[in-house]
Structure 1
């Protein structure tokens, strides 16, 4: 976990995932405001979660929590083997948009839609890399194969370009003094749009917006997809 909390920024981590029967073992890279004494459903979080299983390729899941319980999961079938080598995972977070990148390719965009009543992450967040287990949703009720232990994930080149919330106000963290808040990051550039649309078309296997009767108002808006 990072020593400081941040109010905006561009966050990067290179990760190599356990090459084992890892059903129920989750490797994560996240920004989170969660504190032990914080009431449930009141924190902000942006996360990458790698979900594995026996004989199956890893699924990359992302989620956005915004002063709530999340429920904005999306899943991508990666076009490479994340256990074979390191890949770069990045999160851009500014007052305009949140972008999840795999290497240089944007795989998800969550825009600031507070104008239509959508919560948008604004709490100070720490940066966390972790490896943990779950026998419910991640393992689909099955048991973890502990004979495969230890499960080891590799992290390198942890890089933060962020506004320290410890010393700056939230408004200051939205200043264009920080390059990630500038015109270049108001949205995706043309090359990113092309790559993003390809990912959405070919590799997204699930989105909360696909659920019939979704109560999330942003799902009714036209996006880059």
Structure 2
């Protein structure tokens, strides 16, 4: 009998040691920053929906600020004709010289694909857009959208596949977002002046309300606690898994995944828009993306 008890204890110890994924709680971790009557949190804080109608959209932000790590959100986008709407999920600091890392989902006319719009701001300057068509239906189910951010690079992931990399090129004079803590935001809003075919397709309000659903918010990131965090969050401490060498650049298999996405689903790259920049391209465009 003692033998079986020892085996049971050993098994329970192994179970206890197994890493458990603990998702954030919208009720505890976020606050509505606008349109609260148009939003709802349910399932004990595990799920949230944001709503847009002709009167208002809605948005939330985290109570805490972060500097480096991985921010994960599962999102199910507005179904059907969502032309003119934008569902946004992003990290941002505040102020005129803010840093920001964006996922924005530009609504579609029925039968046409969403556009996944990405951007990065450093010191208040953006104009670094890259856009993609999804290779899946983002309205049929939840998909994992992750922003991975460390001192070496920013990587945008969808369901574990990297779609974009913004490398730290401070050595050639390109600012990198590494000194300002960011909150996590999500919102849905009326952008029919530009979102769908450059604003040609307007929102059909007869289809309102437009609802975006969110779940499994998981901020595996360094919490900002003040100026000391600049060093603490970016150090090579064993606790800072995001600074380990394996996260300095994509793996060989990830580079293949990135190439597949960009070769097949990318529809706009600011680094190829020579007309927009009158031939004076941003400095980072002279460097390989990885």
Whether these two folds match at TM > 0.5 is yes
2:123 matched to 1:67? yes
Other-structure match for 1:80: 136
2:2 matched to 1:2? no
Deviates more, 1:133-142 or 1:119-128: 133-142
- Structure 1 residues 185 and 27, CA gap change in structure 2 (3 angstroms): same
1:43 to partner: Cα distance: 0.9
2:246 matched to 1:184? yes
* Residues in 1 aligned to 2:158 and 2:109: alpha-carbon distance in whole angstroms: 23
Pick aligned residue for 2:100 from 45, 55, 67: 45
- Structure 1 residues 214 and 16, CA gap change in structure 2 (3 angstroms): farther
Unpaired runs of at least 5, structure 1: none
5 Å-filtered alignment, 1:137-152, equals 137-139=194-196, 140-142=198-200, 143-152=202-211
Q: Which has the higher contact order (CA 8 A, sep 6+)?
A: 1
- Normalized per residue, the structure richer in strand is 1
2:259 matched to 1:197? yes
2:164 matched to 1:108? yes
Pick aligned residue for 1:209 from 271, 281, 284: 271
Deviates more, 1:137-146 or 1:75-84: 137-146
1:130 to partner: Cα distance: 1.2
Pick aligned residue for 2:191 from 109, 127, 134: 134
* Residues in 2 aligned to 1:100 and 1:204: alpha-carbon distance in whole angstroms: 13
CA RMSD, aligned part only? 1.3
| TM-score normalised by the chain length of structure 1 | 0.93
- Matched residue SS, 1:14: strand
* Residues in 2 aligned to 1:197 and 1:124: alpha-carbon distance in whole angstroms: 31
How many residues get paired?
Answer: 219
CA contact (8 A) 1:16 1:155 kept: yes
2:225 matched to 1:170? no
1:53 to partner: Cα distance: 1.8
1:214 to partner: Cα distance: 4.7
1:223 to partner: Cα distance: 2.8
Q: Deviations over 1:119-169 (max 9, x none)?
A: 111211001111111122214234321111101001000001111112442
Unpaired runs of at least 5, structure 2: 1-60
Q: Kindly name which structure, 1 or 2, has the bigger radius of gyration based on alpha carbons.
A: 2
* Residues in 2 aligned to 1:69 and 1:199: alpha-carbon distance in whole angstroms: 26
CA contact (8 A) 2:166 2:289 kept: no
- Normalized per residue, the structure richer in helix is 2
